[in-house]
Chains A and B, each alone.
Chain A
Amino acid sequence: MHLKDAKFCVIDLETTGLNIKEDEIIAYACVPVQELRLLVNNAFYTLIKPEKYKIEAMKYHGISKNDLDKAPTFKDVADKILNTLEGIIVGHSVEFDYMFLSKYFKKTGIKLKKDIIDIVLIEKWLEEKSGNMEIDLTIEGMMTKYGIKDHYRHNALADAFFAAQIFQLETLKLSKCGIDSIKEVLKIVKHSKYTTYYLNERLF
């Protein structure tokens, strides 16, 4: 399938930490992409009430306990979230988000099976192709590179939006390299080795 004809959902999570076994999701955001357009109006964002609130993680996500107390539980919004996960899941270090989501859906009896595209791996591939090895692959770094650096606020919805913009710009670069089908893009992603480096970079 041509990239243009595919549906994507660019997602981002806020979590209480990096440990998939122990930590919890506290926010979910999704920006759908169709015909390579960002459908801002259909963007979705929700806070999710965790079982335990970790104070120390607050300095990264800035979400207060008070806000979370009022938020729905994952179970409450599981259907809604599932509805937004249309097409291929895209994101910055999205493997991590995907693992979290899979774990959560499993608990509600749903098996999540989706293709995923990590914009970091695409970027790495593009840069290595042009012989560049020293690259800043944090989301801030990539935003700066693509000229979409804004008054940056660490927030799942903003991050999902920026990731979607980066993805949009990456598709343009890919098409200039002659890559314009889903199959080829998924191949690139699969062949890239995933390292925890990016994961760590994300929160620390």
Chain B
Amino acid sequence: MIPPKEFIKKIKPFSFLSEHELNILISGLEVKLFQKNSIIFKKGDARKYVYILHSGLVGLFDNGIAVDYISKGEIFGIISIHDFPYLLNARALEDTVSYLIYSENFKEVFNKNTKFSYFFSTFINRRFRSFKKIASEKKLFEEATFVLDIEKIIYKKPVVCSPDTSIEAATIEMHKNAISSIVVVDDEMRPVGIFTDKDLRMVVIRGSKLNPVSKFMSSPVKTINTKTTIFEAFTKMIDHGFDHLVITKEDKIFGVITRKDIRIQLEPSSSIFTLFRKIVKAASVEELQTIFNNVKVSVAKIAISGSSFFDLTRMLCMINDAIIVKVIEIIEKEFSLNNFVWIHMGSLGRKEQVIATDQDNALVYGRKRLLAFADEVNKTLVKVGIPECPGNYMASNKKWNQDLPAWKNDFKKWFNNPVPDNARYLSIFLDMRPVYGDELIYKELIESIRKSVTDQAISALAYDAIHIEPPLGILGIRGLYKGVDLKTYGIYPIVNGVRVLAIDNGLLEITNTKERLEMLSSTGVISNEMCHDLLESYGFFQDLRLRHQSSAVLNQSAEDNLVSVKELRRADLLILKEAFKIVSSFQKFLMNKYNVKRVLSHLHTYR
């Protein structure tokens, strides 16, 4: 492979491209040297190339003012691809080597691959053209591949047959294609079963090769869709002990993935992947402790490398859940338990937990109170490395360890009398998600909550989302030198505002902010544009916080939410301001919708 291709392949979003698409970019690629202080392009020049910096330093200038600096692995000149001339001046600040991609070729790939183009059209890039450099170091990159969609690693067309195909014909087909499974589909190409080498053994033992394949196939078949991440697919295989997973797109067969396919993709080494396997196999608390510590470090590395919050939290949430479930399983053995459901709330409930994490859990039991058990689980989690919740929102607290009628009552009480304390309980417990145990108990609770919602409580919750104003002043962001609290000013207003909209519209079982937003937008509660803007700013706040906390983990310093001007790149600063503006207009929307106002002295703050 020619070196530029290897170089480019490692840079996100080029990593999303197929071999064919990469070849389109490479065809017509040139490598050019720019002497220090030479002009690369001028504002208003007709577009010709998209540039990828190989080495050196480039400044982008607008009327003589530096807008951004571009270094190794970063891309510039992108905005020009939509038939506009270049909008800025680009000048080499050091001797610089750049790869030049014909903008026509770039455009071709851009139009073809939505994942690729989405990367460029997101908020950050749309408005500020500045581009995050993504891990070019190989190791980090491998870890980042976990969050790629599964469809990226499916190269073969699926081999399929109909249910009445004979075992013989199906096996011949498998043999011809050198594969270990064949997908059995109905007339509309929907998978109804899968027939594998293993099933073939059963035919030999007690069947005939003339039998229809439907007699011996595994059915119904577990499927996942093309947008599942590689990591999720792999965990599913491990959880269910499958060797094959059927991938569908709009319910129709898209491909088959085997454990081996994933291994080939991920090996030689990837710590997260190995760690997850270890969690599943772990037998003792001590083991989990070591694993969890390694997880934190690996996650921090991935975060620093620039993986997005949304992708990363999907993976993280599964790891956190797996550890907690494992702890429950270990401890459950010491107790004889009747039915119960273990609940996560707060950020863990929303599947949005980042690195600095604390326990937010509760328990709903069927008949017998399970305090001693919960206490043991909470203590063990502390040992593993997940600190106690400072507000004592834990299952070992008897307030949060109750039977179903008591929980139903609590919610009724909170909804009927939303004084500040009760409103706070609502915002915490409305993000609850069942993690272990009897899901029916949870379902019953949700149905009861649905009937308990009051307008009064909705206004109180809306107030929670609007009462803190983003720190926007005439001169930009206030207090940036001391540090701005991203959680208070950016993340909470969005989380709280989105929650109130979700509850108000009966979306009780969705707890994740992104999923809530997407559902609200698809049901027309908010516009697509608002959904997009909120997702972009929410993702940005979270990315920034993630990066901030990751460096704390790696430097072994205290983790907090205060981001100061020192750690922000110029482009981040501009985006941060935009993101706060979006929060501000979202708050105005909520104020109008729920008829709530900001009072000067607010009496309660969200924890």
Contact = CB atoms under 8 A, between A and B. Distances in A.
Interface string B205-235: 0000000000000000000000000000000
B29 A40 contact: yes
B405 interface: no
13 contacts: A40-B31, A41-B27, A41-B28, A147-B55, A150-B3, A150-B6, A151-B138, A157-B2, A161-B4, A162-B3, A169-B33, A169-B95, A172-B95
Interface in B1-54: 1-4, 6-7, 26-33, 35, 54
Given A150-B3, A151-B138, A158-B3, A37 B30 contact: yes
Interface in A1-47: 36-41, 43
B35 A172 contact: yes
B2 A40 contact: yes
A93 interface: no
Given A40-B26, A148-B55, A172 B4 contact: no
Nearest to A152: B3
Contacts of B7: 150
Contacts of A43: 2
Given A40-B30, A40-B31, A168 B97 contact: yes
A84 interface: no
Contacts of B97: 148, 165, 168-169
Interface in A60-84: none
Contact of A38 (B6, B26, B31, B35): B31
Contacts of B28: 41
Nearest to B35: A172
B2 A151 contact: no
Contact of A37 (B4, B27, B31, B138): B31
A36 B55 CA distance: 17
Contacts of B2: 40, 43, 157-158, 161
Interface SS of B by simple majority: mixed
Interface in B117-173: 138
A38 to B, nearest CB: 4
Interface residues of A, number: 22
Contacts of B27: 41
A151 B138 CA distance: 9
Interface string A132-156: 0000000000000001101100000
A196 to B, nearest CB: 28
B31 A165 contact: yes
A38 B32 CA distance: 7
A109 to B, nearest CB: 32
A39 B28 CA distance: 7
Contacts of A158: 1-3
A40 B4 CA distance: 8
Interface of B: 1-4, 6-7, 26-33, 35, 54-55, 95, 97, 100, 138
Contacts of A175: 35
A43 B95 CA distance: 25
Nearest to B56: A147
A161 to B, nearest CB: 5
Nearest to B105: A41
A43 to B, nearest CB: 6
Contacts of B138: 151
A148 B96 CA distance: 12
Given A41-B26, A147-B55, A151-B138, A168 B3 contact: no
Contacts of A161: 2-4
Contacts of B54: 148
Nearest to A29: B2
A78 B6 CA distance: 29
Among all A-B residue pairs, the 3 with the closest Cβ atoms: A38-B31, A40-B29, A37-B30
Interface in A157-173: 157-158, 161-162, 164-165, 168-169, 171-172
Given A40-B31, A41-B29, 11 more contacts: A36-B32, A37-B100, A38-B31, A148-B55, A150-B3, A151-B6, A161-B3, A162-B3, A165-B97, A168-B31, A171-B33
Contacts of A169: 33, 95, 97
A43 B27 CA distance: 10
A171 B6 CA distance: 25
Contacts of B31: 37-38, 40, 164-165, 168
Residue in B26, B31, B55, B97 with the greatest tally of chain A CB atoms within 10 Å = B31
A40 B55 CA distance: 17
A37 B31 CA distance: 5
Contacts of B35: 172, 175
B29 A36 contact: no
Contacts of A171: 33
A39 B3 contact: no
A36 B33 contact: yes
A2 to B, nearest CB: 15
A169 B95 CA distance: 9
Nearest to B138: A151
A172 B33 contact: yes
Contacts of A38: 30-32
B23 to A, nearest CB: 10
Nearest to A157: B2
Contacts of A41: 26-30
Contacts of B33: 36, 168-169, 171-172
Contact of B30 (A39, A150, A151, A162): A39
B190 to A, nearest CB: 43
Contacts of B6: 150-151
A175 to B, nearest CB: 8
B455 to A, nearest CB: 62
Contacts of B100: 37
Contacts of A165: 31, 97
Contacts of B55: 147-148
A40 B138 CA distance: 23
A161 B1 CA distance: 11
A140 to B, nearest CB: 14
